[in-house]
């Protein structure tokens, strides 16, 4: 029995190590809204170096994509099996080609189910395209390291995830070595500094489910502060559809303007002010790009965009004119 016991103990230690690693990895992924389903290839390159040389343009090149069937998902990503939905044979994206030049903003619009979220998932390499390529700074994402991709692309989703931890720790998930002065600066830029100053213990106040209660708009601004600390070259933003009160809305918008300024951004747009401000709008329908242009160009061509404009965008949006 002794002979058996030794190796078993060793194995269970390995398991504990793996579990510890997985738990911390998951916490990081939660911040980034990612679940890994693809592996880094041996000899992968550092994306940051390419970005420094060329600027962080994003390019989808003839991308076709079908979600993997449950039986195709490898053991390493067992958790994602639960998220794979029915109708495995359908192709979600067909021959999608467009680019987001470095420093510009492209808005993605289209009816529900058109494939907007799927595109954002390919840009953070949650999945690889079935055919075609996604590139940042000219590098195929299949060739770059996971760490450098994570450092290059920041995600802001509709639901801001906060840990049950202090404001400071929530922010430092983005950059563990950030000083308090840097945290305060990011909070100021994200238009949430005043609130944190009023909290009972300032930066050391515990927020999250059982901590200091934050409204939806406040959670979003804290998530934006975290993004500003991370300072990614590329931002993927899923604009909130839920209505905030108008004061929160204005504060969140100011925080987002700060966060997107000077960065390459791909925005799943729900607001009229966003599509008007975008350098280009890509209109998706049923997995295909059906139109692309500026707000004025697309309205003039009286296609799907013009129809969506009337039905989907918040026409009460006061910043439009
Ligand atoms: P919405 O505006 O409603 O969020 P969307 O344009 O973002 O829609 P996607 O979420 O990208 O659309 O979905 C595109 C298609 O892919 C839909 O038919 C959807 O059912 C399918 N789909 C999305 N996620 C998965 C998944 N994990 N597994 C299988 N199919 C999926």
What's the rounded Cα separation, in Å, for the pair 60 and 178? Answer: 34
Q: Which atom of ligand 1 is nearest to the CA of 284?
A: 6
User: Ligand 1 centroid to 312 CA: how many Å?
Assistant: 18
Has residue 45 got a pLDDT over 50? yes
Question: ipTM of this complex > 0.90?
Answer: yes
pLDDT band at 70 (very low <50, low <70, confident <90, very high): low
Name the residue at shortest CA distance from atom 26 of ligand 1.
Answer: 84
Query: What's the pLDDT band for 20 if we cut at 50, 70, 90?
Result: very low
pLDDT of 211: 80
Kindly give the distance from the C-alpha atom of residue 180 to the centroid of ligand 1, in angstroms, as a whole number: 40
Q: CA separation (Å) from 207 to 1, 161, 202?
A: 50, 11, 11
Report the separation in Å between the CA atom of 113 and the middle of ligand 1, taken as the mean of its atom positions: 5
What is the average per-residue pLDDT within 9-14? 46
The predicted pLDDT at position 314 comes to 61
Q: Whose CA is nearest to atom 17 of ligand 1?
A: 113
Please, what is the average pLDDT of the chain? 82
Residue 113 Cβ contacting ligand 1 at under 6 Å:
yes
Mutate to test the pocket of ligand 1, among 69, 107, 113 (most ligand atoms within 8 A of CB): 113
Atom number, ligand 1, closest to the C-alpha of residue 108? 6
Mean pLDDT of 223-231: 92
Lowest-pLDDT range, 166-175, 236-245, 252-261? 236-245
How high is the pLDDT of residue 74?
52
The pLDDT, as a whole number, for residue 11 is: 45
Ligand 1, atom 10, residue with closest C-alpha: 117
Binning pLDDT at 50, 70 and 90, where does residue 86 land? very low
Q: From the CB of 85, is ligand 1 less than 6 Å away?
A: yes
Query: Which residue's CA is the closest to the ligand 1 atom numbered 16?
Result: 92
pTM: 0.80
Mutating to test ligand 1, I would choose from 60, 79, 114 the residue with most ligand atoms within 8 A of its C-beta, which is 114
The two structure tokens encoding residue 103: 């420093």
Q: Which three-class secondary structure string do you get for 243-300?
A: CCCHHHHHHHHHHHHHHHCCCEEEEECCCHHHHHHCCEEEEEECCEEEEEECHHHHHH
3 state SS of 182: helix
């Amino acid at each position: 029995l002794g002979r058996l016991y030794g190796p078993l103990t060793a194995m269970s230690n390995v398991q504990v190590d793996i579990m510890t690693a997985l738990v911390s990895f998951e916490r990081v992924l939660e911040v980034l809204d990612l679940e890994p389903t693809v592996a880094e290839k041996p000899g992968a390159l550092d994306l940051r170096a390419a970005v420094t040389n060329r600027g962080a343009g994003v390019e989808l090149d003839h991308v076709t994509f079908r979600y993997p069937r449950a039986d195709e998902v490898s053991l390493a990503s067992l958790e994602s099996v639960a998220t794979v939905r029915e109708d495995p044979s359908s192709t979600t994206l067909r021959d999608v080609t467009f680019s987001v030049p470095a420093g510009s903003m492209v808005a993605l619009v289209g009816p529900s189910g058109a494939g907007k979220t799927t595109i954002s998932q390919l840009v953070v390499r949650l999945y690889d395209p079935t055919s075609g390529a996604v590139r940042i700074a000219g590098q195929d994402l299949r060739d770059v390291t996971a760490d450098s991709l994570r450092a290059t692309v920041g995600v802001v989703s509709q639901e801001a995830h906060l840990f049950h931890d202090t404001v400071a720790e929530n922010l430092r998930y983005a950059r563990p070595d950030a000083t308090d002065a840097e945290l305060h600066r990011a909070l100021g830029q994200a238009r949430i500094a005043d609130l944190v100053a009023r909290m009972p213990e300032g930066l050391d106040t515990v927020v999250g489910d059982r901590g200091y209660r934050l409204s939806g708009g406040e959670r979003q601004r804290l998530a934006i502060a975290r993004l500003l600390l991370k300072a990614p070259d590329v931002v993927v933003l899923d604009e909130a559809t839920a209505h905030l009160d108008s004061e929160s809305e204005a504060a969140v918008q100011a925080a987002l303007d700060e966060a997107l300024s000077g960065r390459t951004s791909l925005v799943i747009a729900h607001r009229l002010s966003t599509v008007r401000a975008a350098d280009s709008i890509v209109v998706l329908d049923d997995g295909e790009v059906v139109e692309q242009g500026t707000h004025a160009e697309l309205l003039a061509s009286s296609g799907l965009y013009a129809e969506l404009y009337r039905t989907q965008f918040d026409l009460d949006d006061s910043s439009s004119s």
